């Protein structure tokens, strides 16, 4: 869903949004997440909740993460080592 970027419908977006502009929005979404206001609010609530929980936790308790308090977000996957070689199959799976 484009959330109004380029138009109110997919047809309008296809007419109004250039390919380079769409690619820039895709990069933005990959870096910063969904444009959905509900998901952004949920994430913000998770951040606030984790800060409060960490402020009040016992020193023996592991730190809380925002994802401990969100329904639609999971722990981020570990970033692969950029210098490590990958298999051909892994590379092909990442090419869309």
Residue 58's domain spans which residues?
Answer: 36-75
Domain count along the chain:
2
Q: What is the mean pLDDT of residues 49-75?
A: 93
Q: Give yes or no: residues 40 and 71 share one domain.
A: yes
Residue predicted with more confidence, 35 or 81: 35
For every residue of 7-72, DSSP letters joined together read: -SSHHHHHHH--HHHHHHHHHHHHHH----HHHHHHHHHHHHHHHHHHHHS-TTSPPP-GGGG-SS
Overall pTM > 0.85: no
Q: Are residues 5 and 21 in the same domain?
A: yes
In a domain, 89, yes or no: no
* Of 56 and 9, more confident: 56
| Domain-located, residue 90 | no
Q: Are residues 25 and 42 in the same domain?
A: no
């Amino acid at each position: 869903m484009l959330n109004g970027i380029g138009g109110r419908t997919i047809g309008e977006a296809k007419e109004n949004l250039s390919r380079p502009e769409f690619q820039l929005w895709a990069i933005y979404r990959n870096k910063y997440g969904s444009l959905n206001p509900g998901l952004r609010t949920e994430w913000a609530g998770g951040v606030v909740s984790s800060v409060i929980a960490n402020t009040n936790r016992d020193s023996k308790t592991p730190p809380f993460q925002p994802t401990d308090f969100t329904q639609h977000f999971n722990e981020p996957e570990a970033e692969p080592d950029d210098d490590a070689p990958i298999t051909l199959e892994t590379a092909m799976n990442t090419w869309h």
